[in-house]
Amino acid sequence: MGNKLTKNLGFTMIELIITISIAGILVSIAIPSFNSIISSTRLTTYANELVASLNLARSEAVKRGVQVSVRRKGSTNQNWDAGWDIFTDSDGDGVFDAADTLLKTYPALTNGFTLRTGTVGYQDFAAYLPSGLSLSSIGDTFRLCASPADTANSRAIAINAVGRPKASEKTAACP
């Protein structure tokens, strides 16, 4: 004889559509931010890998008492996008031969990223002598860019005359 009110435990179709619409708008706003974060993180990772590679080559040269080289993969001068190898260089020519020992290899950069050197020091390879000094007394700068024209989102890895690498943000030019 009396009406009992029951609680509604579900969502209406209108509430569900509004919630999904709001979530879709928020996701569409957030995705470009995530892409820039991912690009910046990859850029930092690649710069750190190159600095670590050069430091590894230097320390191995001192430890082993032989020249150790870091050579770009691929056939284009100044282009290090295809990755690089670190190896003992018994004859000192900067080329990985049968008598050399491969210490570590790095894969190609993700599509769109570029890694180039200047025109003087490390076009094909960087090498460290058993004393820990660089084979090239000139020094050079690697330019790591997320896209070919974006100098704001780039890194410069400068190698001084004795071979010590140092990474910094923003390069003067991207290829």
Instruction: Please state which of the ranges 28-42, 52-66, 68-82 shows the lowest mean pLDDT.
Output: 28-42
Edge to edge, the sheet with strand 125-128 lists 102-106, 84-88, 68-72, 125-128
**Domains, the chain, with CATH or none:** 13-169 (3.55.40.10)
Q: Which amino acid is at 7?
A: K
Residue 139 to residues 3, 26, 33, 40, 82: CA-CA distances in angstroms? 89, 48, 36, 26, 22
Cβ within 8 Å of residue 43, ≥6 positions away: 113, 144, 146, 153, 154, 155
Asked if 114 and 144 count as a contact pair (C-beta separation under 8 A), the reply is: yes
Rounded CA-CA distance 136/127 in Å is: 7
Tell me: the pLDDT tens digits for 2-43? 566 667 677 788 989 999 999 999 888 877 777 788 888 899
Tell me: the pLDDT tens digits for 81-127? 899 999 999 998 889 999 999 999 999 998 888 898 876 667 889 89
pTM for the whole structure: 0.79
